[in-house]
Amino acid sequence: MLNYQSLGVTATEKFQSMQAKTDVVKRIRIRFDPKIDQLESRVMIAGKPYLITRLYVDDDRNFEELSLNYVD
């Protein structure tokens, strides 16, 4: 089970994702988990799989933010 806090997708993040030719539909904050990486991981939220498009780790506060996109 993944405990998370929903964050809004900012206009800056939308712009950066368009430059990288990806899309961001959801952002969440979770407690730091070293097993999660951006390249190979997906997460399941409310029965829907999401692909991790960006991962930001804040070591000082022991959390990470995930930018998510729908799995094709």
4-16 confidence digits (pLDDT tens): 888 988 888 888 8
Would you list the domain boundaries of the chain?
5-70
In this prediction the pTM is 0.80
Q: Cα(49)–Cα(59) distance, rounded to whole angstroms? A: 26
Residue with tokens 């988990």: 33
Q: How distant is the alpha carbon of residue 3 from its chain centre?
A: 13
d(CA 18, CA 14): 6
pLDDT in tens, 28-64: 999 988 888 777 788 888 888 999 988 888 888 889 9
Q: Cα–Cα distance between 18 and 12 in angstroms, integer?
A: 10
Q: Where are the alpha helices (DSSP H) in 1-72?
A: 11-19
